Amino acid sequence: MKIIPAIDIIEGKCVRLTQGDYSRKTIYNEDPLELALQFEAIGIERLHLVDLDGAKSGSVVNYKVLEKISSKTKLEIDFGGGIKSNEAIKVVFDSGAAIATIGSVAVKNKELFFSWIDKYGADKIFLGADVKDEKIVISGWVEKTDVAIFDFINENFSQGVKTIFCTDISKDGLLQGSGIDLYKKIIEKFPNLNLIASGGIASIKELDELKLIGCSGAIIGKAIYEGRITMNDLKKQMLC
């Protein structure tokens, strides 16, 4: 199972939100590159970089952080937050992202999203499904929709998307465990989907549980920054 550390960015700094609430923000590091280098040093190959300013404003903001990390490391970076136009996705790829992370556009502008799959290929697009009560939530978790997660996956899977990361935002940032029950339902309905768990992961033991139910990867953020999962833990996990 692929281990993918997350670095969330506000005003160029590494932060974490609690349940997607911008008013409940904790700054963990002034320099995201410092963290990225630490991850690379223990053998991490993939980084999930999130522009929270971009997600909130609707346009990419922190692309300079992406440029810095991509030029100073060999990490495969997926970058998301505010990618809502052809110009924005071009900026993201030009700034060094290997993969563009897309969320809201896949709900609000399906034609544009599917055009990106056609142009760049499904392997260059990392589709995110932020979920509350099994319904999709978009625009930096501030806008609820009536789109059921299972309908969302089915439609995009039929368009060639094979990898989706799913965040149960009721769990995110609480360090009380991930949405494992939801993941079980998704994997049961879509056994050929590569499902990446995200949000709420609090321990190394939980990574084993996610692997056991069939998740192909896990995005980990706050547990690392709060010391629940150490760099040494991650290094050992990758050797399993």
pLDDT (tens digit per residue) in 118-176: 999 999 999 999 898 899 988 656 668 899 999 999 999 999 999 999 988 876 555 66
130 catalytic, yes or no?
yes
Mean pLDDT, the chain, as a whole number? 91
The per-residue pLDDT for 132 is 87
Q: Which of 24-33, 86-95, 174-183 has the highest mean pLDDT?
A: 86-95
The pLDDT assigned to 183 comes to 95
Check residue 154 and give its pLDDT. 96
Query: How far is the CA of 119 from the CAs of 7, 77, 112, 116, in angstroms?
Result: 27, 19, 10, 5
Could you say which DSSP state residue 216 is in?
Answer: S
Q: Which of 8, 51, 53, 168 is catalytic?
A: 8
> In this structure, are residues 37 and 29 in contact, taking their beta carbons and an 8 Å threshold?
no
At residue 1 the predicted structure's pLDDT band, cuts being 50, 70 and 90, is confident
Residue closest to 62 by CA, chosen among 95, 22, 39, 106? 95
103 close to 88: Cβ distance less than 8 angstroms: no
Question: pLDDT at position 157, please?
Answer: 94
pLDDT tens per residue across span 179-211: 899 999 999 999 999 999 998 898 999 999 999
Q: Which domains does the chain have, with CATH numbers?
A: 2-239 (3.20.20.70)
Residues 51, 53, 78, 130: which is the catalytic one?
130
Is 31 labeled as catalytic in the residue annotation?
Answer: no
pLDDT at position 145 is 87
- Residue 228's CB is within 10 A of a number of other CB atoms, namely 16
Pairing of strands 76-80, 99-102: parallel
Classified as helix, coil or strand, 147 is strand
Residues whose CB is less than 8 angstroms from the CB of residue 33 and which lie 6 or more positions away in sequence, other chains included: 65, 68, 69, 72, 73
Q: Are 40 and 70 in contact (CB under 8 A)?
A: no
On the 0-12 / 13-18 / 19+ scale of CB atoms within 10 A, 158 is exposed
